[in-house]
Structure 1
Amino acid sequence: MRFDGVENQMNGPDLAARLPQDPRSLLSSPPCFPITLKFVDVCYRVKIHGNSGDSGKFKRLLGLEHKPSDEARSTEERTILSGVTGMVSPGEFMAVLGPSGSGKSTLLNAVAGRLHGAGLTGKILANDAKPTKQTLKRTGFVAQDDLLYPHLTVRETLVFVALLRLPRSLTRDDKIKAAESVISELGLSKCENTVVGNTFIRGISGGERKRVSIAHELLINPSLLVLDEPTSGLDATAALRLVQSLAGMAHVKGKTVVTSIHQPSSRVFQMFDTVLLLSEGKCLFFGKGRDAMAYFESVGFSPAFPMNPADFLLDLANARPQEKRVINAIFMIVIADLLSSTRHLKRVGNRLKEPNHTHASSAWFSLSITQSSSKQ
């Protein structure tokens, strides 16, 4: 993987002029322009007020809590993301791993342009430039929770979306044909006349619901597709088929695909080109998925017996308190090295430009462990 600049093609013709003339090729054709996504030192902090809110007042009214002190009234700042860095290129499929509450959804919302405010710092770049409206129009985001009309059929749902989201330069018939093309591409033909349904209305299966949500975004032929835990609630087979479809979008159609996933099987894990491992908002690893086990073994973390790499990474990210002290110590060594040695920082930057780099953090960790071992 390289951090080389990709020519910025976002200053060309209007979006409508960039769309394929044949609506049936909306999904099969490559994106109008490739998007190389980079996020550098991304941090996100939120302010949490003390017990002076409504819940605190209610507790005091019942006599369950004393009047808050000045210290309780103060505002606390909580860090959700802390210095997360990574990159994904066109044609690559990246997975964001981590336990619940590690910051996966926050990171995806940030890179998709859905998170704003003073609490968000760092650089998020599309083709080495700040994302523009053109970029956001070419970005598809699939939320974790499906937001679908339960009384509409699959075909009605996607035709409705096509009529609203596709450009006016296409006729009504062209938009309908585009919806039918997406239905065929995602294997929804068998259920296209079945209502979506919900808890109270019998409808399509969970895997089919996820594919309908993905079809929402594929109608615009996005260059960047971001998905928040698309396999949640699916069985192993349905999750595998869904991830296979996403991998095909990246490898065959050249899209940039980023997804968070909670606990993938070993077969699913092997489909990811790159893996970003988060723990409490910090990046423990970023690099090729096949290199993850070897890297952690090199710094002293290895499983006692052969196991699913994803399970091992999640166990490490969700470490026990005594193990977290070791991880925090590694982070402190990394920070000390960065602050004291600009030469080391340049060496890490050069490593990022190598075709087969693991991650800056991996380079920092390896060097830090070597240095600490030599000192002992």
Structure 2
Amino acid sequence: MEPTLPIYLKFSDVSYQILGKVGESPSATKYVLKGVTGSVFPGEVLALMGPSGGGKTTLLNLLSGKVNIKGHGGSITYNDQPYSKWLRKRIGFVLQDDVVFPHLTVRETLIYAALLRLPKTLTKQQKEERAMNVISELGLESCQDTIIGGALVRGISGGERKRVCIGNEILLDPSLLFLDEPTSGLDSTTALRITQMLHNMAHAGKTVVTTIHQPSSRLFNKFDKLILLGKGSSLYFGKASEAMLYFSSIGCSPLIAMNPAEFLIDLANGNMNDKSMPSELKDKFLRGGQEFKHQEQRPSPVDIHDYLLDSYESRVAQLEKQKLLKPVPIDTTRDVQVGSSLKDSGATWWQQYYILFWRGLKQRRHDYLSWIRVTQVLAIAVIVGLLWWRSDASTPKKIQDQAGLLFFISVFWGFLPVFTAIFTFPQERAMLVKEMSVNMYKLSAYFMARNISDLPLDLILPIVFLLIVYFMVGLKPDFTVFLQSMMTIVLSIIAAQGLGLAIGAALMDVKKAATLASVIIMTFMLAGGFFVQRVPFFMSWIRYLSFNYHTYRLLLKIQYSCSSLGNSRYGPCNSAFIKGLRLHNGGMEAGAMIAMIFGYRLLAYIFLRKMRLRSASCL
């Protein structure tokens, strides 16, 4: 890893607006940011502070390049240059929500990230050493072999999880580190440790920008610079240690002992309780009076905001804009060298596939082989085995009973994979968007690895299910027939899984996807060839799209196949029920299911690409 390249971040008159709908008046346009100016240099921590809805996260997204400044207003420069692609590898962004896989350990999480993100010129061992160095740097040695955990899985603490997320970003030794509410939800001691860590990173040569809602006084003192935002406007920019002096100079001082951050947030909200009132406001509202006798005489939050904004514009804003005109002391030759070296970063497509395959296998083995899922499959297998205990096909009635069993198997191993697969992409969307935004891997490598890593896990429970059911119910005692039945169920599972992936990728919403999947599965089941033998011609096309229909017919063909239907001594071959199905050789059914396997996955990939493009257009 090359040394950190110093990056001087400057921004002037940054504005951001949300346009109203087509046909609405210009007044419908909402300004999220209005002319914000500031700067932060290597070795400094800049805090963006203000009430909720004040524009902190929007400004952070603009400064980091996640949102394009073009079409809005103002300028943002990095070493006096506009944003360019090579900066993407020089910027780390830590989201407010901890987007990590809950079933991976701390060590696995950081090692997989290092293998995917670090330059190709480094060996696997060097990348793993870098991950271990980050673990040591962040003080995570004691929990490195503990799973991350989440809402439903117990793991590491919230502070440790936040440090893992920061570790994911500092693996590349970024010059600029952006953090959105890194102390949110943490106790004061843990929050202080996170802030001290950011302070140490800045002193090592990085430029750090973070949003903060309402820090403790100890946290507040760790910041070098501060921007106080109120209603999208800058009410203060300068050294954090001088903020109280500035507001005191314009007549706003706390009348009681108060946390500086709490005092500043109150001002940004227009709350003057327990604070001195500036003489200009007193003169304006009381015309020289000494006390506010009635509540309606007091200045409104809007009046206070306007006063603070006018004071900032007249006393600070122009001076800061003049400072931004000074060129930064940067070595441009080194700038070019670092930019060119980053072209070799990342892993090859096959390396990405291999890494994502093993990461996916480790992450999802807990879901596929959880005791709840195993118990569910085993319990249903035993119940089915007992209900059809030692059945045979000696009479037409018994043949129909066995046909009901085969239809249930086709429905069960169509229903279960669909409702497992629809959760895949909606649940991993945040992780996918996060990792794709930094070009961590190709979408095709992720998609292939995601599909292939599921196959070994998908086959374990169906094999166990069929081993229990097949011999309990007395199906055809032939090893070849058993293997053919197993292969048919595997085809059904893979086809059903593809449908679930396509529905999940199309809607990216679990509730909507589950509703649509239930309608489709019920339709496929009804048209599956067991409940209705003669489907009206205008609805007959549905059964050819139903993997239940094809699976059911294949299982019947395998169980009751005959070399000659007319002369065989085997009873089912002469059954009117079997003859009426016209099973033929099963080639059409197998071909249709193979087409579904690839067709549904192609649809899922197309939907994922569209989702990625939508996400990219928002950045």
TM norm. shorter chain > 0.5? yes
For structure 2, which runs of at least 5 residues remain unmatched after alignment? Answer: 272-298, 327-619
- Assess, with a 3 A threshold, how the Cα gap between structure 1 residues 169 and 79 changes in structure 2: closer, same or farther: same
Matched, 1:196 2:174: no
Letter in 1 for 2:45: F
Matched, 1:276 2:227: yes
Q: Which residue of 2 aligns with 1:34?
A: 6
Aligned residues: 299
Identity %: 51
In the TM superposition, residue 353 of structure 1 has moved relative to its aligned partner by 7.5
> Which string of whole-angstrom CA distances, capped at 9 and with x for unpartnered residues, describes residues 168-217 of structure 1?
00011110000000000000111110111110000111001100000000
Contact 2:235 2:312 in 1 (8 A): no
CA–CA distance in structure 2, aligned partners of residues 313 and 74 of structure 1: 32
Q: Which residue of 1 aligns with 2:183?
A: 231
In the TM superposition, residue 331 of structure 1 has moved relative to its aligned partner by 3.5
Matched, 1:130 2:102: no
CA–CA distance in structure 2, aligned partners of residues 231 and 85 of structure 1: 25
Q: Which residue of 1 aligns with 2:268?
A: 317
Compare the two structures and name the one with the higher strand fraction: 1
CA–CA distance in structure 2, aligned partners of residues 327 and 112 of structure 1: 28
CA–CA distance in structure 2, aligned partners of residues 314 and 236 of structure 1: 18
| Alignment map for 1:133-172 (pairs within 5 Å) | 133-172=85-124
Contact 1:49 1:75 in 2 (8 A): no
CA–CA distance in structure 1, aligned partners of residues 102 and 319 of structure 2: 55
Local SS of the residue matching 1:94: strand
Local SS of the residue matching 2:12: strand
> Which string of whole-angstrom CA distances, capped at 9 and with x for unpartnered residues, describes residues 310-359 of structure 1?
11001111124714313314545777x79xxxxx99766556689xxxxx
- Assess, with a 3 A threshold, how the Cα gap between structure 1 residues 196 and 170 changes in structure 2: closer, same or farther: same
- Assess, with a 3 A threshold, how the Cα gap between structure 1 residues 117 and 256 changes in structure 2: closer, same or farther: closer
Give the root-mean-square deviation of aligned CA atoms: 2.4
| Alignment map for 1:251-290 (pairs within 5 Å) | 251=203, 253-290=204-241
- Higher RCO, Cα 8 Å, sep 6+: 1
Q: Which residue of 1 aligns with 2:243?
A: 292
- Assess, with a 3 A threshold, how the Cα gap between structure 1 residues 317 and 75 changes in structure 2: closer, same or farther: closer
In the TM superposition, residue 254 of structure 1 has moved relative to its aligned partner by 1.0
> Which string of whole-angstrom CA distances, capped at 9 and with x for unpartnered residues, describes residues 11-65 of structure 1?
xxxxxxxx34xxxxxxxxx41x100001110000012338xxxxxxxxxxxxxxx
In the TM superposition, residue 305 of structure 1 has moved relative to its aligned partner by 1.4
> Please, what TM-score do these two structures have when normalized by structure 2?
0.46
| Alignment map for 1:1-376 (pairs within 5 Å) | 19-20=1-2, 30-31=3-4, 33-49=5-21, 76-116=28-68, 119-251=71-203, 253-320=204-271, 322-329=300-307, 331=309, 349-350=321-322
Letter in 2 for 1:42: V
CA–CA distance in structure 2, aligned partners of residues 233 and 84 of structure 1: 28
- Assess, with a 3 A threshold, how the Cα gap between structure 1 residues 139 and 166 changes in structure 2: closer, same or farther: same
Local SS of the residue matching 1:301: coil
Contact 1:210 1:230 in 2 (8 A): yes
Letter in 2 for 1:280: K
* Bigger CA radius of gyration: 2
CA–CA distance in structure 2, aligned partners of residues 347 and 246 of structure 1: 28
CA–CA distance in structure 2, aligned partners of residues 176 and 89 of structure 1: 31
For structure 1, which runs of at least 5 residues remain unmatched after alignment? Answer: 1-18, 21-29, 51-69, 339-343, 355-376
> Please, what TM-score do these two structures have when normalized by structure 1?
0.75
Compare the two structures and name the one with the higher helix fraction: 2
Local SS of the residue matching 1:121: coil
